[in-house]
Structures are given as C-alpha cells and as structure tokens.
C-alpha cells in the first residue's frame, strides 16, 4: 500500500497573523507564566498555610485551562476560541476585582495604588483587544471556514 501524500490530507486555510500572535501571547503571559509563578509560591508556602481548593484552582487551574484554550484556538478550533474569550474575561475580571477591592481598602501605599490601577487598566485593555480581534467577522470567518481538500 502506498502512503498518502501530504497533498491528500485536508488543509486548513492559512492562520491569520493576529491569531498566531494573540494565542501565543495569551498562552504564555496569561497561562504558562502565572501557573508556574503560582505553583512556586504555593509550593514554598505549603508548610506555613493551608491553601483552599478554590484558591488552588484559581491560581493554577485557570491559567492551565487558558493555555489549553489558547492551543486549541491556535489550531483553529472555534469552540476553543470562544472558551478562550470566556476564560480571559473571567481571569482578568477576577484580577481587576481584586485590584479594585485593594484600592477601596485604602491601605495601599502610593506605589501599590499605582500597581492596582495599572492592573485594572491592563485587564481592560487585554480583554478588549482579545474580544475585538476574536469577534471580528474576518477572524470568525477563519474559524468557521471549512477545511479544504486538495484536488
């Protein structure tokens, strides 16, 4: 039996540059790095404090799921694209809420206040860019375009 040539396999249309850049950025900066940082912090503090299951899921689980959704989006999966948008909105919404609560407490130094405000602005901008790009008709068309078969 002859092996199938690469030309015989269905091919996905070329991935837009924005999909490539945003999924890599989201997967690394919002998923991989926070998961590793949280894992290191939790491992180093495990003897001193009890860590709740909810805190563990939010600190490590949510970023790992974001990496998974970013990989699926990178590969062209439309459901992964929608999942990534929901997860990013949840992740950054929780971060913005935490920063807003810290600001409202009134116990922050001016430097910490600046960090909290920049965290809120960063969350708004990041979610805004992802929602704008991944909900554009041209981007949606890429994810919903049928896989072409050569021939």
pLDDT in tens, 128-137: 999 999 999 9
pLDDT computed for residue 48 by the predictor: 55
Structural domain span for residue 130: 16-144
* CA 89 – CA 93 distance, rounded (Å): 6
For residue 131, being part of any structural domain is answered with yes
In a domain, 75, yes or no: yes
- Within 10 A of 102 (CB to CB), how many other CB atoms are there? 17
Residue 124 lies in a domain: yes
Task: Give every residue of the chain whose pLDDT is below 70, as ranges.
Answer: 1-12, 46-49, 147-151
Residue 73: count of CB within 10 angstroms of its CB: 26
Task: Tell me what pLDDT residue 1 has.
Answer: 46
- φ/ψ bin of 134: left (φ > 0), alpha (ψ from -120 to 50), beta (otherwise): alpha
Supply the pLDDT for residue 87: 97
Would you say residue 99 lies in a domain? Answer: yes
- Looking at the domain assignment, is residue 94 inside a domain? yes
Tell me if residue 47 falls in helix, strand or coil.
coil
pLDDT for res 25: 97
Asked, for residue 134, whether it belongs to a domain, the answer is yes
Q: What is the total count of domains within the chain? A: 1
Residue 86 inside a domain? The answer is yes
Does residue 149 fall inside a structural domain? no
Question: What is this structure's pTM?
Answer: 0.83
Q: Alpha-carbon distance 41 to 1, whole Å? A: 55
**pLDDT the model gives residue 14:** 86
Residue 30 CB contacts under 8 Å (≥ 6 apart), including other chains: 63, 66, 70, 88, 91, 126
């Amino acid at each position: 039996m002859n092996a199938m040539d690469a030309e015989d396999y269905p091919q996905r249309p070329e991935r837009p540059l924005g999909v490539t850049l945003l999924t890599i950025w989201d997967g690394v900066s919002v998923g991989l790095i926070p998961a590793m940082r949280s894992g290191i912090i939790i491992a180093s503090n495990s003897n001193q404090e009890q860590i709740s299951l909810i805190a563990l899921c939010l600190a490590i689980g949510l970023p790992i799921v974001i990496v998974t959704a970013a990989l699926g989006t990178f590969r062209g999966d439309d459901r992964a694209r929608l999942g990534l948008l929901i997860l990013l909105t949840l992740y950054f919404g929780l971060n913005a809420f935490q920063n807003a609560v810290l600001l409202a407490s009134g116990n922050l130094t001016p430097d910490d206040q600046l960090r909290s405000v920049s965290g809120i602005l960063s969350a708004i901008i990041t979610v805004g860019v992802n929602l704008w790009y991944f909900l554009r008709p041209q981007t949606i068309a890429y994810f919903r375009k049928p896989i072409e078969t050569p021939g």
